[in-house]
Structure 1
């Protein structure tokens, strides 16, 4: 799902945490560039796989944080506003399914 697939547009709940979130993503980007460099330099395969695993776990941590925030903010906000939160819950469960498959 992309931002265009949803009826809402930012700023989203994570706006206050945006600098920290972007910092984490920059570090992950650096990790991925490091993996690229390792492959270019013919680094031992297990060492490359170790770095891929670290980058994957870092991305998963970002995803879980965003998911927690979605539930704490978006789902709860819908419920507090008297709106049926089922669409927000469905978004969360779909996101969980994508994370589990990856």
Structure 2
């Protein structure tokens, strides 16, 4: 269950749509044979934007799901192991 509020979900969807537009722009740039450095710059910007979305979701997970599970003592070790696994995947 997501601990994101309706407003947070709405904001993330807006960000993801913006990222979607960036990706379409990248496709156009490659199709049009744009300068490699410009393409790489846009890739970096897209990755940064996507990382910000991921950090927001991760923050919500830690401060919502993980916090609640630990406060209720629902398998602390399992929750922490799952969190560490998610962090490991996110930082790859």
Aligned length: 91
Q: Map Cα deviations across residues 4-29 of structure 1 (whole Å, 9 max, x no partner).
A: xxxxxx4x111421111111100000
Counterpart position of 2:91 = 100
Instruction: Give the gaps of 5 or more residues in structure 1.
Output: 1-9
Task: State how far apart, in whole Å, the 2-side matches of 1:83 and 1:49 are.
Answer: 45
Higher relative contact order (CA 8 A, sep 6+): 2
Q: Displacement, 1:85?
A: 2.7
8 Å CA contact retained: 2:70, 2:79: no
Counterpart position of 1:6 = none
Task: State how far apart, in whole Å, the 2-side matches of 1:72 and 1:85 are.
Answer: 14
Task: State how far apart, in whole Å, the 2-side matches of 1:86 and 1:67 are.
Answer: 18
Counterpart position of 1:14 = 4
Task: State how far apart, in whole Å, the 2-side matches of 1:54 and 1:85 are.
Answer: 37
Return the match for 1:84 from 46, 64, 75: 75
